[in-house]
A and B are shown apart, each in its own frame.
Chain A
């Protein structure tokens, strides 16, 4: 038997050896995208089919500052991962903290928007089809921001006690992919809800 194995040359697995984390996260992102597609389709399907008011134009304001915060957090998390790859953990912690703050501000902004809609305008998920699709789509995205923030905070905790080192750059990168996904989905949600829907 050993003779047989010896004749087999030990060629490495041809070329492409992807990282498990990246492949796993990509799969998760594909699955999540399908969930968002269904919610976006439902939103577009029901646009303008309400039997009663209010309409999007009457109650929605463009969340410009919010969007800028969330989208720029994609850049800051990239800087953080790059710093970690170079072994600069101080810079990493700083950029990571900025990312957390930007994400938290986005959530705060969404909360403020919902508070205004619910308590000042009396507009809830039960009001009409617009309410149904608006709160569920924006809420689905916000819940993903919450999950992302919790994950970011766990890493932040590790960074504070000094447990994040250069060899963890790959892990941070994989988490960064999820965060980029959450940001990209916001571009779609923003376009659908605040541009097309309004």
Chain B
């Protein structure tokens, strides 16, 4: 691309690649994105796709909040309300969460391990398009069937679609078929991408990068992709069974023929709980890269971080039935799942202490990525604590399927994962585009989102204690829930405002953001050694590393890390 790049060296010596190639027509640009097998373009497409669905599911959440803002409201119909919470959950997990984590893995893993692409670039494109069409299939349900006016036949069975609600007799038409087929299809996309990322990490690391010298982000992606292989597949299998039940007349979940509705719960949560960790481990990965850079210290306890993540992966595969305490298991079963669930708290606690240890005594810089990371630390701790409360079976018998549970898992999914996704976007946006996001708008985004998040989800615990069940369409006045729900809805408005500012920030910064240079954060990993945005081949010369912070070594040749590791 340009001659000075062949040194593959200190970022200051490399002029940034041109931001837009003006002479190419729109058609050429679109065509190049559609047929691309480049991991960076696919990564960016995954992220745009995920963020779009994040907005769609956010609109659905806002409608839910408006419907619940006051007693006896009828802003949407009960049927629409059922579709809203089903589509909100399904979209957030499968069409926003999974594409976002794979987008970042796609974009970052090869750059951070000094590779030129993933191991199987075409399989990568295949995985993306499978996932993308899976998502479109789910949303086609709104216009398929009875058409737009009748709100179509969107799924309305809840995001975990318990049997026998999904049986032909109770779910007529094709709404459940859209749900199961789209998850089935995008599941294959996830499995393909997971195979790809594992192979890339195991086979394509640059010279000198042993497993023990890999950036933590690569380690954590390796572990989470391993989890995808064994945790997403049970869901795929369960969807095959559901499809057979609905189309071939088999009896897996048909209780009238001796089938078992509880078996669906087991299969679903065998996927469903590890899935939470599949989504949160990338948040850990971002924190493990961002917090050290903004504390000006190497990560504290690198090997322990890897070990703790492995422990989380193993233990989280054996906790699924804590979603089912109210189903009525044996007391042995209950005890096992109480103990295993509480055990997850140990490695997770280790990680929190390690991040704190990294910050301790560091020279903290509170740029926007670090603000989001710090909020993540606190909120993830609280989410973990309410998680331990719910892990006690007797407590769970009281509060399962109440708004306390909703508040708990939104603390994980929003307070930890969405916060870290924003941190990652602010941190790596300069690498992908060559321009910085505006810090001023970023701070507005952060503080509004933080306030909105806490107003909504801190408050939401209380109606749970007062007995408000999840998925309730409306409620009568005089239960003591009205004011609390109104506060939750007001908090949601703050979050919507924050997201609007974020969208404006992205659009403005793409057009005339401050040029970032190649290493805007004074970071230490390989993605900042090449130009921003990186050329199609990433590195003119495949780098050689001797420590966990190769860019530090380049910047400080007299005091390199490898002397101490």
Which of A10, A18, A34, A129 is in CB contact (< 8 Å) with B233?
A34
Report chain B residues within 8 Å CB of A51.
257-258
> Given the complex, which residues of A lie within 8 Å of B120, measured CB to CB?
20, 24
Size category of the A interface is: 35 or more
With a CB–CB cut-off of 8 A, which chain A residues contact B210? 13-14
Query: A19 vs B240: C-alpha distance in the bound complex, in angstroms?
Result: 32
- Contact present for A1 and B9 (CB under 8 Å): yes
User: A1-B554, A8-B544, A10-B207 are known contacts. Are A34 and B234 too (CB-CB below 8 A)?
Assistant: yes
CA distance A128 to B252 in the complex (A): 10
Judging by beta carbons under 8 Å apart, are B244 and A136 in contact? yes
Quick one: given A35-B233, A136-B250, are A8 and B259 in contact (CB under 8 Å)? no
Query: 1/0 per residue B93-119: CB within 8 Å of A?
Result: 000000000000000000000000001
Scan residues 118-148 of chain A and give those whose CB is less than 8 A from a CB of chain B: 125-126, 128-129, 131-133, 135-136, 140
Which residues of chain A in 124-176 are interfacial with respect to chain B, using CB atoms and an 8 Å cutoff? Answer: 125-126, 128-129, 131-133, 135-136, 140
Contacts of B458 in A (CB 8 A): none
Task: Give the residue name and chain of the B residue nearest to A21 (CB).
Answer: B199
**Closest Cβ neighbor of B12 among chain A residues:** A1
Whether A5 sits at the interface, judged by CB under 8 Å, is yes
B248 within 8 A of partner (CB): yes
User: DSSP majority for the B interface?
Assistant: helix
Contacts A1-B10, A31-B195, A132-B252 given: A18-B241 contact, CB under 8 Å?
no
Cβ-closest chain A residue relative to B266: A41
Chain B min CB distance to A74 (Å): 23
Chain A 4-22: CB-based contact to B (< 8 A → 1; otherwise 0)? 1101101111100111100
**Is A20 within 8 A of B249, CB to CB?**
no
Which residues on the B side are within 8 Å of A18 (C-beta)? 202-203
Which residues 1-45 of B have a CB within 8 angstroms of A? 7-10, 13
**How many chain B residues touch A (Cβ–Cβ < 8 Å)?**
51
The answer to whether A17 and B9 have CB atoms under 8 Å apart is no
Q: Which residues of B contact A37 (CB under 8 A)?
A: 234
Which residue of A34, A42, A125 has the most chain B CB atoms within 10 A of its CB atom? A34
Q: Is the CB of B557 within 8 A of A3?
A: yes
Is the pair B240, A45 in contact by a Cβ cutoff of 8 Å?
A: no
Alpha-carbon distance between A85 and B338 when the two chains are bound, in angstroms: 54
Q: Is the C-beta of B230 less than 8 angstroms from some C-beta in chain A?
A: yes
CA distance A103 to B91 in the complex (A): 41
- Cross-chain contact B252 with A42 (CB below 8 angstroms): yes
Q: Which 8 A-B pairs have the closest CB atoms?
A: A1-B9, A38-B237, A34-B233, A27-B195, A132-B250, A126-B249, A31-B229, A24-B199
What is the interface of chain B, defined by CB distance below 8 A to chain A?
7-10, 13, 119-120, 191, 194-196, 198-199, 202-210, 229-234, 236-238, 240-241, 244, 248-252, 257-260, 263, 267, 270, 544, 546, 553-554, 557
- Given A14-B210, A24-B195; 9 other pairs, CB 8 A cutoff: A1-B10, A5-B8, A7-B557, A13-B206, A24-B199, A31-B230, A34-B230, A38-B238, A46-B258
| A–B complex contacts, Cβ < 8 Å, 23 sampled | A1-B9, A4-B554, A4-B557, A5-B544, A10-B207, A11-B207, A13-B205, A13-B207, A13-B208, A13-B209, A24-B120, A28-B191, A28-B195, A31-B229, A31-B232, A35-B236, A39-B237, A125-B244, A129-B251, A132-B251, A132-B252, A135-B250, A136-B241
